[in-house]
Amino acid sequence: MKALFKSGPHPGFELVDRPEPEPGHADVKTRVLTTGICGTDLHIQSWDAWARGAITTPLVPGHEFYGEVVAVGADVRDVRPGDRVSGEGHIVCGACRNCRAGRRQMCSRTVSMGVQRDGAFAEYVVLPETNVWVHHDPGITPELGAIFDPFGNAVHTALSFPMVGEDVLITGAGPIGLMAVAVARHAGARRIAITDVSPARLDLAVKMGADLAVDASHSRLAQAQHELRMAEGFDVGLEMSGRATALREMIDNMTHGGRIALLGLPSEPITVDWSKVVTHMLTLKGIYGREMFETWYAMSAMLSSSPVLHAAVAGVVPDVLPAAEWERGFGIARGGLGGKVVLDWSHI
C-alpha cells in the first residue's frame, strides 16, 4: 500500500510503499478514503521538541480518517465489511481504574494512533473494533467523516459546561475553535465572541455563528464586552489557542463564577493570576480528546438532527487534495489561514 512514512528520527515524510496491516482477532481493517491533517501531524513532520519526546520511528502518522471496512477479525461482533467508519484514535488499556470506571478518555496507558502506533496516512489502517465508529447517517460525507476526531474535540470542550443563555468567549479560531462556535450556537449560547489574529479565520467564524470576531493583535476583550452590551464578564470560556496572552486575558474578562475549558496545548509555561481565579471563584477544566463514547454519540446526533450545524461543520473543510499532493496540503495547513485540510486517498 501507499503510505506517508517517517523512516527515522528526522524532519519530513516520504510517500512510499509499505506492507498492508492485517487485523488481529478483535480488529477492523479499513480502506482509507480521506484523512485530515492535524497540528500533531505538523509537529511530527517538522520533528520538533515535542515530536522527539513522543514519537518512536519508524511510523505511519495520521489519526483523523474516514473509510470503508474491508476485513474484520474472528471475534469482531458489530462491525462488518462495507461499513463506512471513522475511528477514535486513543487506544486504551481497559484495565486501569479509569477504564473500569467508564472514564476511558482518562486511561493512563493510552496509545495514540499515528503517534505511538501506525496511523491513517495510508491506504489501509487497522484499529480495535472498540475504537471504530460506524456512520449510519448517509449525510456524512468522506470529507466530514475525516474530521470527526477534531469535531469531537470541539464538542467535548464546548459541552463541558451548560451553554443555554450564556455569554461565551472562544480564544483561537483554528478549525476546532470554528467548530466550537457552531456547537455553542446550536447548544443555546446567548452571545459568542471569538479571538484570533487571522482575518480570514475571523471572517469564517462570523459565518459559523459568532456574534463578534476580535482581532487580538490590536483589540481588547474589554472593548468586545462593550460592543456586545455585556453588563458583566463572560460566563463560559473555551481556550483553544494555547497562547499565554489569550488565557490571561480570558481570565481577566470572566464573570464571577465563570467556567473555562482549556483545550489548547501551550508550548511554554503560562503564568496565571491565581488570586483572580480564587477571588472570582473561576473553574478551570482541562480537556483532552473526546469522551469515549458519549462525545461520539452527541456529535452524530447533533449533525443528523440539525442541517444548520451540519452545513457549518462541513464548511470547515475548504481544501480537499489528492493524497499524492500531501506536501501542498501540509503547507496549507501549516500556513494557518483557513479551515481544515483533508487528503483524498481514494485514487492514489
Summarize pLDDT for 101-117 with one digit per residue, the tens: 999 999 999 999 999 99
Residue 163 domain-assigned? yes
Q: Is residue 144 classed as helix, strand or coil in its secondary structure? A: helix
Helical packing angle, 326-335 and 39-46, nearest 10°:
110
Catalytic site residue 35? Answer: no
pLDDT of residue 147: 97
Catalytic site residue 40? Answer: yes
Residue of 34, 35, 40, 295 marked active site: 40
pLDDT of residue 239: 97
Rounded CA-CA distance 68/60 in Å is 19
Q: What domain range is 209 assigned to?
A: 153-286
Above 90 in pLDDT, residue 66? yes
Q: Are residues 74 and 158 in the same domain?
A: no
Rounded CA-CA distance 273/286 in Å is 17
Q: Are residues 94 and 158 in the same domain?
A: no
Q: Are residues 62 and 100 in the same domain?
A: yes
Q: Are residues 165 and 280 in the same domain?
A: yes
Residue 308 domain-assigned? no
Q: Are residues 48 and 15 in the same domain?
A: yes
Domain tally, the chain: 2
Cα 104–188–251 angle (5° rounding)? 70
Rounded CA-CA distance 204/331 in Å is 20
Q: Are residues 233 and 209 in the same domain?
A: yes
Residue 304 domain-assigned? no
Residue 293 domain-assigned? no
Summarize pLDDT for 303-330 with one digit per residue, the tens: 999 999 999 999 999 889 999 999 999 9
Residue of 43, 135, 156, 310 marked active site: 43
pLDDT of residue 49: 87
Q: Which of 93, 85, 240 is nearest to 153 (CA)?
A: 240
Q: Are residues 205 and 138 in the same domain?
A: no
Q: What CATH number should be reported for the domain holding residue 14? A: 3.90.180.10
Q: Are residues 17 and 124 in the same domain?
A: yes
